[in-house]
């Protein structure tokens, strides 16, 4: 079992990797969400049921496209071939999509991509986790994931569509 600090370090590394991959495809990317808050505020948010505790990790723009991305590093089981997303996150992200009219995407290890709607519709309710927060999860197959390149473009395309 991994500690919170180990999971946090894995998540932070995955966020940086996803941000780099988006930038290589010509997206302007900023870190967003709870990770940008002070430690005290992060701890306070974790003790609430507020939907703002689920703000996505990244906000990215390319031309007129604007997306919100929640990075899910270490949330994929190689043994079962499924991704896990906390049910509370899916609910909050569906509300965020309705409120902002912007897409939210989950980006997992291997750059698999699902939306909150994908997870709600195709996911199965998983048990309460024995690792991490112990919260209930949705489990969704890796086989139905969208390809990162299909959604965000291929590497080497500059900000104006010119090869780098």
More confident residue, 23 or 128: 23
In a domain, residue 54? The reply is: yes
In a domain, residue 123? The reply is: yes
More confident residue, 64 or 161: 64
Residues spanned by the domain of 57: 23-152
In a domain, residue 157? The reply is: no
Task: Report yes or no on whether pTM surpasses 0.85.
Answer: yes
pLDDT of residue 160: 43
In a domain, residue 55? The reply is: yes
The CATH code of the domain that includes 141 is 3.40.1350.10
In a domain, residue 3? The reply is: no
- Asked whether the predicted pLDDT for residue 109 surpasses 50, the reply is yes
Cα separation, 47 vs 108, in Å, equals 25
State percent of the chain over pLDDT 70. 88
How many domains does the chain contain in total? 1
Mean pLDDT of 54-76: 94
In a domain, residue 56? The reply is: yes
In a domain, residue 107? The reply is: yes
CB 63 within 8 A of CB 76: no
pLDDT of residue 58: 97
Identify the band that residue 36 occupies on the pLDDT scale cut at 50, 70 and 90: confident
pLDDT of residue 74: 84
Cα separation, 120 vs 95, in Å, equals 12
In a domain, residue 1? The reply is: no
Region of poorest pLDDT, from 3-7, 47-51, 55-59, 72-76: 3-7
pLDDT of residue 157: 58
Cα separation, 31 vs 59, in Å, equals 6
Nearest alpha carbon to residue 142 among 72, 59, 56: 72
Bridge partners, residue 146, by sequence: 113
> What is the number of other CB atoms lying within 10 angstroms of the CB of residue 65?
12
Torsion of CA 31, 32, 34, 40, to 10 degrees: 70
């Amino acid at each position: 079992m991994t500690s919170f600090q180990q999971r946090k370090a894995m998540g932070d590394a995955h966020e940086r990797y996803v941000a780099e991959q988006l930038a290589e495809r010509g997206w302007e990317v900023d870190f967003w969400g709870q990770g940008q808050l002070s430690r005290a505020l992060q701890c306070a948010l974790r003790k609430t049921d507020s939907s703002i505790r689920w703000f996505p990790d990244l906000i990215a723009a390319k031309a007129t496209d604007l997306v919100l991305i929640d990075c899910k590093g270490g949330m994929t089981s190689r043994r079962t071939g499924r991704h896990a997303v906390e049910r509370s996150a899916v609910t909050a992200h569906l509300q965020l999509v309705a409120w902002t009219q912007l897409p939210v995407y989950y980006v997992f290890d291997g750059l698999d991509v699902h939306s909150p709607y994908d997870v709600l519709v195709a996911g199965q309710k998983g048990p309460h986790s024995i690792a991490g927060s112990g919260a209930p999860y949705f489990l969704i197959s890796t086989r139905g994931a969208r390809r990162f390149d299909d959604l965000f473009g291929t590497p080497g395309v500059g900000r104006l569509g010119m090869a780098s």
